[in-house]
Amino acid sequence: MSITIIGGGFAGLSVANALKGKGVNPKEISVIEAKDKLGGLIDTIQEKGYTIETGPEGYRGTSIGIQKLIQYAELEDQVIPSTKISESLRYIVKKGKLRKLPSGPFSAITTTVFSPKTKIRILLEPFIKPQDIPEETIGSFVSRRFGKGLDPLVDAFISGVYAGDHHSLVIDYVYPEAKQLEMKYGSVIKGGIAMMKQLKKAKKQEQGNTKQEKKEKPPYLLTFKQGLKQSIDAMAKGTNTLLNQEVVKLEQEKQKYLVVTKQKTIEAENVIIATSPNALQNINVFGEKPKIRTREAKVAIVSLGYDVKQFKKPPKGYGFLAPSEEERFVLGILFSSQIFPHKAPEGKTLLRCFIGGIRHPERAEMSNEKLVQNAIEEVKDLLKAKGEPEYTHVQKHYRGISQLEKGHNKVLDYKKQIETQYPGVHFTGLGWTGISTDHLSRQALQIADKITNKKMMIPTPQNN
Ligand SMILES: Cc1cc2nc3c(=O)[nH]c(=O)nc-3n(C[C@H](O)[C@H](O)[C@H](O)COP(=O)(O)OP(=O)(O)OC[C@H]3O[C@@H](n4cnc5c(N)ncnc54)[C@H](O)[C@@H]3O)c2cc1C
């Protein structure tokens, strides 16, 4: 079996790792990466005692896909879980101040983040008639089902996760599960309860059958002793990795596919295209450059390291998000060393400020000095820090996060057409059917299953 993966980011390497986990010899896997290093958006920088991630802070510990990938990459003893406090304490900015977000059913009743009217309207969701609205935006879906009172929270959440606009992202593409619950059960709440019951029952049955020991609850977030870069290296281990090789063409020849870079041609039975839809525009795929496009959110991340003594009350918990109506400079700030204490030296605190996104792409393009200056002002104002940070770092992602908006079905149709017409060719990566590492890790397992369970017969092209 020969497998070639185009793109050495998290998505491509997850497929390599899943294939290795399913018994494929790593020597049969080639990973072709245009840049001089693997990881794509993910990298870990260690400087002056601080550990900075260039992309995600960590992986979701509860994700089945992530758990499997850790097992396959033999990283179990390298995992660092997020702290308990960061799992239960999160904030939102409201009227210029940080307010605690509810962390459970009781605090959802007592919270002052939502008005009593909003709370009642949320409880009425099971009585709202379902409607199948094609390409409905997340903002419209949530307002229709739960009322407009949730809008600032949804706005903040979507700009925190997608650096996107909840009035542009489409529920069918971003959270298809929510839409399916409405369609199947008539209500998201009713469907959610039914799903939880089913899961509980399945778990009980599994435990009853195998008499397993009670497993420890996985952490909300996790990283590794050497940061997320450690997982990138472990997933790539043993594979035939080609760096600085941009793929320019993918074609079919008799029973094989040919992956062509500027330097060489690699034959493969299976090809995994693990780039974003926009990156694919530069590759001639079976005779033409795909005419598909998604909007991408530019993001700048300013990391600031302070002495805890510079705060009257040092930041506690996960971090905060800022709804657009608050007109803050940052989209939100992660309290990085509160989530993973080893990320800052003893007595110091590390904050990661997210800036720009679809709301303010021009901010992500500001000079590093301006970004740092504005981020420091936000920390002074919202977290009451005194003085300047002792450490600063700026990371910019100009080809940032793909937005799954109206018209995304053209991207999905293209993917389907190629996968149907060319057996053994698979798509993954940020911006096709999801953007999270959880989503991509599950997709990697599915692709590895398809490749290892079926012997693909590639049809000979008509003109050969
Ligand atoms: C600021 C930020 C915060 C994030 N936070 C989270 C988070 O909290 N949780 C979460 O789950 N996800 C988060 N993400 C998303 C996460 O980073 C992505 O899901 C993941 O890294 C995407 O991996 P990928 O391989 O699809 O894409 P990429 O990382 O972009 O990798 C694609 C690779 O393909 C290569 N490539 C492109 N074209 C070619 C070509 N022609 N030939 C060869 N190689 C090519 C590129 O050089 C690149 O290395 C965040 C992203 C950003 C930017």
Query: What separation in Å is there between the alpha carbon of 40 and the centre of ligand 1?
Result: 5
Q: Is the pLDDT of residue 463 over 50?
A: no
Binding site membership of 439 for ligand 1 (Cβ less than 6 Å): no
Query: What separation in Å is there between the alpha carbon of 429 and the centre of ligand 1?
Result: 7
Residue among 347, 331, 307 at smallest CA distance from 382:
331
Q: Give the closest residue (by CA) to ligand 1 atom 31.
A: 9
Query: What separation in Å is there between the alpha carbon of 115 and the centre of ligand 1?
Result: 38
Q: Give the pLDDT confidence score for residue 455 in this predicted structure.
A: 47
- Going from the N-terminus, what domains does the chain have, and what CATH number goes with each? 3-41+228-294+405-453 (3.50.50.60), 114-209 (1.10.3110.10), 295-403 (3.90.660.20)
| Predicted TM-score of the model (pTM) | 0.93
Q: Give the pLDDT confidence score for residue 453 in this predicted structure.
A: 86
Q: Is the pLDDT of residue 34 over 70?
A: yes
Residue among 428, 418, 433, 55 at smallest CA distance from 227:
55
In angstroms, rounded to a whole number, what is the distance separating the alpha carbons of residues 144 and 464? Answer: 55
In angstroms, rounded to a whole number, what is the distance separating the alpha carbons of residues 372 and 344? Answer: 18
Q: Is the pLDDT of residue 464 over 50?
A: no
Query: What separation in Å is there between the alpha carbon of 9 and the centre of ligand 1?
Result: 6
Q: Is the pLDDT of residue 446 over 50?
A: yes
Q: How many CB atoms lie within 10 A of CB 172?
A: 22
In angstroms, rounded to a whole number, what is the distance separating the alpha carbons of residues 275 and 133? Answer: 30
In angstroms, rounded to a whole number, what is the distance separating the alpha carbons of residues 262 and 244? Answer: 10
Binding site membership of 57 for ligand 1 (Cβ less than 6 Å): yes
Q: Is the pLDDT of residue 413 over 60?
A: yes
Q: Give the pLDDT confidence score for residue 111 in this predicted structure.
A: 86
Q: At 245, is the pLDDT very low, low, confident or very high (cuts 50, 70, 90)?
A: very high
* Most informative mutation of 6, 355, 394, 437 for ligand 1 (most atoms within 8 A of CB): 437
Q: Give the closest residue (by CA) to ligand 1 atom 1.
A: 55
pLDDT mean over 248-252: 97
pLDDT mean over 16-40: 97
Q: Give the pLDDT confidence score for residue 210 in this predicted structure.
A: 62
Mean residue pLDDT across the chain: 93
Q: Give the pLDDT confidence score for residue 107 in this predicted structure.
A: 81
Q: Give the residues across from 29 on adjacent strands.
A: 3
Q: Give the residues across from 240 on adjacent strands.
A: 30
Q: Give the closest residue (by CA) to ligand 1 atom 7.
A: 56
- Percentage of the chain lying above the pLDDT 90 cut: 89
197-206, 337-346, 431-440, 441-450: range with lowest mean pLDDT: 197-206
* Residues near 464 by beta carbon (within 8 Å), at least 6 away in sequence: 253, 254
Q: Give the closest residue (by CA) to ligand 1 atom 10.
A: 436
Q: At 460, is the pLDDT very low, low, confident or very high (cuts 50, 70, 90)?
A: very low
* Most informative mutation of 430, 433, 441, 442 for ligand 1 (most atoms within 8 A of CB): 430
Binding site membership of 188 for ligand 1 (Cβ less than 6 Å): no
105-119, 170-184, 201-215, 383-397: range with lowest mean pLDDT: 201-215
Binding site membership of 246 for ligand 1 (Cβ less than 6 Å): yes
Q: Give the pLDDT confidence score for residue 252 in this predicted structure.
A: 96
Look-up of token digits 């298809």: 176
Q: Give the pLDDT confidence score for residue 442 in this predicted structure.
A: 96
Q: Give the pLDDT confidence score for residue 214 in this predicted structure.
A: 64
Q: Is the pLDDT of residue 30 over 70?
A: yes
In angstroms, rounded to a whole number, what is the distance separating the alpha carbons of residues 23 and 361? Answer: 44
Query: What separation in Å is there between the alpha carbon of 274 and the centre of ligand 1?
Result: 9
- pLDDT tens digits, 71-84: 999 999 999 999 99
- pLDDT tens digits, 175-232: 999 999 999 999 999 999 999 999 888 878 877 766 556 667 899 999 999 999 999 9
Q: Which 8-state DSSP code applies to residue 284?
A: E
Query: What separation in Å is there between the alpha carbon of 11 and the centre of ligand 1?
Result: 7
Q: Is the pLDDT of residue 462 over 70?
A: no
Contact 66, 441 (CB under 8 A): yes
User: What is the position in ligand 1's atom list of the atom closest to the CA of 32?
Assistant: 43
In angstroms, rounded to a whole number, what is the distance separating the alpha carbons of residues 118 and 125? Answer: 11
Binding site membership of 41 for ligand 1 (Cβ less than 6 Å): yes
- pLDDT tens digits, 316-336: 999 999 999 999 999 999 999
